[in-house]
């Protein structure tokens, strides 16, 4: 178990033998928070299973001399919210962390790194038997570099207890899990700030002028706003201030474009954009003006806006106000290669914009893309770029990372593996991503792991050899799938199924095999009618068995099944 090495430690000499802890107990203070109590219960549950002990749980007792023979779990007032502190001595263990989620994360990190437990999926926790384990005595600590971490999978949002184990801090307000970060995702918000349903009929001039007409299309949270209209500025500011009054615990609010390219081309907006060399000229001027008004009512709240699509390039002279956050979006980037790969021309513009924003803004957040939005259930070769990308964001002083995947669906392509890999790396970007990946595959797929590792290697090598640069809406051809390669990836999973050594492993392999069935259906070339019918039947059965709810960002699985039946 070497893939997870997060804690920084100073050894003090000697080892704690787990076998000597038989008469120990787990304690929390009499006035422990709900998070502390839950953290102690989690320690008891998982440590007892691994160590084959039954350590009792109770409150601190002043009559226990020197606190010997106990594991104490507590909140520390001297560290940041999610910071971890662990002290291991031969006679005692003390686990502490920040006042929100830190104490719970400290327990999970202890269990992972010092005991060897792995929280792999919502229904698979690897628990080694460690009755003879020795833990080096010393002081251990860690502070995560990203304060906002979102591995965007429904496995996390549906199971917040599992998300806490993965240290994803954006999905739940549950007090026992320490709640979530006060930083909200910077997202499309024009439709909230100046709703078209409220103002569209009476004030069409509030909305974008495109091709000489005021836009009325509400797709993607549109229409866009006329951001130089003084009344729009006042309405957006008033709405934002009211929303903050209704949600006093948030640290920021989004003032950001809709998800459409139909931005305003009126004379005033275009004049700003031409002068600044980018449509972000008018957008950021608008955001700054709104931010100035919000600051008067809420001086400590940040105003976030997307640098996305046509606004990704920073303006020539307009700079973000001190209370404005920039969320950089990498939607145009190649997903196969690392963003800072010098040999991938497709990513160079994003790197240039990242550098430019870094010179004028010290409050940068990241929106990165980690799925195929056109085919949630098709092989997607980006497993080699996730780690380097997260490290690139860290090197460029990002404060938080939204790793978007198929968060509105379950059982997407390698969703279990990807969630494990992504959540580890945004917690600790310095981990060896390929070691983390390999560990998951071998623990989760057991005897079938060699065939799955061969599949992963072939999938990525195949795209590299074809000199392809898939983005996040690729076709089967964009990810190197044709009749020959589709059959080959299918065969890897047939081999994995044959190697599966029990029913649980077989089920995990079956779940992971759904994308190779999809590859055969959409890129497998000429297939005999009988075999195609069988493939369709097997594909649909697997999707239903393992809860695949969406086959694309905007397509539910049942609708796609109907299409297949018609074929």
DSSP of 484-527? HHHHHHHHHHHHHHHH--SHHHHHHHHHHHHHHHHHHHHHS-S-
Mean pLDDT in consecutive groups of 10 residues from the start of the chain, 567 residues: 79 91 95 96 97 93 67 94 96 96 98 97 96 93 97 96 98 97 98 98 98 96 98 98 97 98 98 98 98 98 98 98 98 98 95 98 98 98 98 98 94 96 98 98 98 98 98 98 98 98 98 98 97 97 97 96 92
CA 517 distance to own-chain centroid: 26
Number of H helices and E strands in the chain, helices first, is 18, 19
Q: Judge residue 18's burial from the number of C-beta atoms within 10 Å of its C-beta, 0-12 exposed, 13-18 middle, 19 or more buried.
A: buried
Only one residue has tokens 């100046």, namely 194
Judge contact between 92 and 70, C-beta under 8 A: yes
For residues 178 and 173, give the distance between their C-alpha atoms in angstroms, rounded to a whole number.
7
The domains located in the chain, with CATH, are: 8-143 (3.30.379.10), 189-300 (no CATH), 444-566 (no CATH)
SS3 304: strand
SS3 12: strand
202 contact partners, CB below 8 Å, separation of at least 6: none
For residues 344 and 422, give the distance between their C-alpha atoms in angstroms, rounded to a whole number.
22
Judge contact between 89 and 137, C-beta under 8 A: yes
The per-residue pLDDT for 301 is 98
421 contact partners, CB below 8 Å, separation of at least 6: 383, 386, 387, 433, 436, 437, 440
How would you classify the pairing of strands 84-88 and 134-142? antiparallel
85 contact partners, CB below 8 Å, separation of at least 6: 76, 79, 94, 95, 96, 97, 106, 139, 140, 141
User: pTM for the complete prediction?
Assistant: 0.96
SS3 157: helix
The per-residue pLDDT for 9 is 85
């Amino acid at each position: 178990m070497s893939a997870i090495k997060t804690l920084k430690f100073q050894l003090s000499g000697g080892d704690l033998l787990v076998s000597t802890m038989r008469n120990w107990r787990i304690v929390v203070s009499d006035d422990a928070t709900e998070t502390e109590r839950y953290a102690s219960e989690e320690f008891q549950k998982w440590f007892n299973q691994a160590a084959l002990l039954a350590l009792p749980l109770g409150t601190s007792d002043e009559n226990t001399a020197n606190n010997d023979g106990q594991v104490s779990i507590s909140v520390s007032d001297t560290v940041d919210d999610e910071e971890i502190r662990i002290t291991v001595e031969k006679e005692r263990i003390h686990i502490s962390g920040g006042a929100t989620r830190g104490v719970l994360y400290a327990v999970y990190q202890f269990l992972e790194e010092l005991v060897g437990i792995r929280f792999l999926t919502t229904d698979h926790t690897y628990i080694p038997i460690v009755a003879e384990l020795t833990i080096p005595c010393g002081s251990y600590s860690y502070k995560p570099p990203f304060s906002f971490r979102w591995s965007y999978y429904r496995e996390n949002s549906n199971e917040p207890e599992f998300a806490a184990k993965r240290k994803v801090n954006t999905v739940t307000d549950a007090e026992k899990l320490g709640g979530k970060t006060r930083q909200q995702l910077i997202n499309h918000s024009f439709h909230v700030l100046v709703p078209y349903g409220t103002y569209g009929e009476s004030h069409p001039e509030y909305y974008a002028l495109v091709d000489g007409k005021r836009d009325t299309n509400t797709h993607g949270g549109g229409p866009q706003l006329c951001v130089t209209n003084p009344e729009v500025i006042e309405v957006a500011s008033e709405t934002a201030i009211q929303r903050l009054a209704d949600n006093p615990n948030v640290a920021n609010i989004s003032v950001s474009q809709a998800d459409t390219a139909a931005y305003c081309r009126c004379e005033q907006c275009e004049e700003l954009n031409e002068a600044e060399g980018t449509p972000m000229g008018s957008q950021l001027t608008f955001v700054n003006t709104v931010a100035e008004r919000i600051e008067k009512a809420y001086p400590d709240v940040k105003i976030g806006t997307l640098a996305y699509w046509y606004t990704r390039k920073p303006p020539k002279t307009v700079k973000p106000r001190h209370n404005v956050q920039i969320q950089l979006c990498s939607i145009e980037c190649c997903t196969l290669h690392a963003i800072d790969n010098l040999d991938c021309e497709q990513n160079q513009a994003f790197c240039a914009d990242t550098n430019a924003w870094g010179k004028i803004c010290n409050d940068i957040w990241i929106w990165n893309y980690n799925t195929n939005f056109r085919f949630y259930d098709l092989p997607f070769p980006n497993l080699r770029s996730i780690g380097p990308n997260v490290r690139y964001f860290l090197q460029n002083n990002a404060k938080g990372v939204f790793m978007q995947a198929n968060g509105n669906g379950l059982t997407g392509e390698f969703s279990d593996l990807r969630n494990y890999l992504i959540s580890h790396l945004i917690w600790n970007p310095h981990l060896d991503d390929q070691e983390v990946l390999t560990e998951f595959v071998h623990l989760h797929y057991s005897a079938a792991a060699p065939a799955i590792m061969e599949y992963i290697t072939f999938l990525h090598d195949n795209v590299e050899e074809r000199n392809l640069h898939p983005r996040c809406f690729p076709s089967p051809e964009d990810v190197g799938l044709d009749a020959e390669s589709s059959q080959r990836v299918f065969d890897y999973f047939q081999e994995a199924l044959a190697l599966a050594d029990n029913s649980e492993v077989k089920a995990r392999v079956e779940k992971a095999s759904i994308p190779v069935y999809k590859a055969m259906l959409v890129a497998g070339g000429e297939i005999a009618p009988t075999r195609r019918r069988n493939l369709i039947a097997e594909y649909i059965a697997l999707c239903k068995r393992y809860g695949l709810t969406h086959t694309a960002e905007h397509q539910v699985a049942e609708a796609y099944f109907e299409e297949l039946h018609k074929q």
